[in-house]
Amino acid sequence: MAIIVNLDVMMAKRKISSSELAEKIGITNANLSILKTGKGKAIRFSTLEAICQVLDCQPGDILEYRR
Amino acid sequence: MKVTGKKSLSNFIEICLKIVFIIGIIIYLTLPFLLNQYIKYFNPVLNYTAALVMLYTSGIPALVIVWEFIKMFGTLKKDKPFILENVKCLRVVSLCSLIISIIYIIGMFFIVSVFEIIAIAIFIIAWLGTYVLAELLEKAIEYKEENDLTI
């Protein structure tokens, strides 16, 4: 998989738990888990926006492209 | 009125199908007797052996079709119709319809009646229709999975 979700790193930096983040973004724990484990196929802009807002970061801090 | 889920239209249809299935089995088991009565009172010129063989061979796929529909309506009751098992069910229904229409086409050589031609037409349409529906459902499942994994 070329695009890697680095949500764990950013969450650790901001010292926020999964359930807290899920609640603040407004998605379920199960969906956040899908996103974190890289099982997700796509991410909505609205979700990405919410994550960036809550974690106070840029999309590039969460998503990474690896060859 | 609710269409899917508990106490809904699909639930009602499932119950009807179960009754049809039971009646179908009873008819299938008592076929020689029933056919005798039918020939005696309604249609004395009917070829008994040919009719019996035709009904026995087409009876099994017909019951399978009803059974597959019961399974499919069961998944509607649970509100989870977008599963690959339903695609398989539709494919089986499609195949059974084809088998029945072939049996009836062969039967045309022994028994000629308007009902037979109608039955052949219906089952050929059912064969092609359910085949397309199965493909459609498979595509729908693909899209649903994609949608479920979009966070």
Q: pLDDT tens, B7-23? A: 888 889 999 999 999 99
Residue B68 pLDDT: 95
Instruction: Kindly tell me if the per-residue pLDDT of B1 is higher than 80.
Output: no
Three-state SS for A44-57 is CHHHHHHHHHHHCC
Residue B93 pLDDT: 96
Q: How many angstroms separate the CA of residue B83 from the nearest CA in chain A?
A: 19
Quote the tokens at residue A22. Answer: 């899920």
Kindly report the average pLDDT of chain B as a whole number.
Answer: 91
B127 touches B101 (CB < 8 A): yes
B111 touches B46 (CB < 8 A): yes
B136 touches B81 (CB < 8 A): no
Q: What average pLDDT does this structure show over B109-125?
A: 90
| Assigned domain for B1 exists | no
Structural domain span for residue A37: 3-65
Residue A1 pLDDT: 55
The residue ranking higher by pLDDT, B123 or B80, is B123
| Assigned domain for B4 exists | no
Interface test with B, best of A21, A41, A47 (most B CBs within 10 A): A41
Instruction: Identify which of A27, A32, A41 has the shortest CB distance to residue B149.
Output: A41
Provide the CATH number for the domain around residue A46.
1.10.260.40
A32 touches A18 (CB < 8 A): yes
Structural domain span for residue B114: 9-148
Number of structural domains found in chain A? 1
Looking at residue A66, what DSSP letter applies? -
A2 interfaces chain B, CB cutoff of 8 Å: no
Residue B67 pLDDT: 96
| Assigned domain for B3 exists | no
CB atoms within 10 A of CB A20: 13
Number of structural domains found in chain B? 1
